[in-house]
Amino acid sequence: MMPTRATSRQAWWTLALLILATGCAQTVPHKDVSQEYLGLGIVSGTLGAQKRSELSIGELPSSSVVGQVLALEGAAYLIRDNHGRELRIPHDENTRIDRPAHVGDHIQSWLDDQSRAVLIRNLDGDGR
């Protein structure tokens, strides 16, 4: 009686593994093998996946802002410029930052045409 029980238990385990293996081995129709379907379109469409542009000082956008950091908001600096306006300067992984700024520091930021920071320079020389 014991060998039958062991064989029956082994048969159940084999059946369970076979069902599990068949459920995981789904085939994808060839027409749906696009970049978006595979999830690669999401990655290549993000700002982080875009080709980094190596900008020299001569090639920087003409739009520049100088101001004092009032607050750090995740991926942005909230600054007060020289005219007293409060501006939010968003940045991402493509932004070159010479030295992270702290509240109270003066920074200069060059912006692209979507008002995102391309380069942020910390103007305070104390090297915190």
In a domain, residue 36? The reply is no
Contact 117, 108 (CB under 8 A): no
In a domain, residue 22? The reply is no
* pLDDT per residue as tens digits for the range 34-65: 555 555 544 544 544 444 444 444 455 568 89
Domain count, the chain: 1
Contact 116, 95 (CB under 8 A): yes
pTM of the entire predicted model = 0.51
- CATH number of 111's domain: 2.40.50.320
Percentage of the chain exceeding pLDDT 90: 29
Contact 86, 122 (CB under 8 A): no
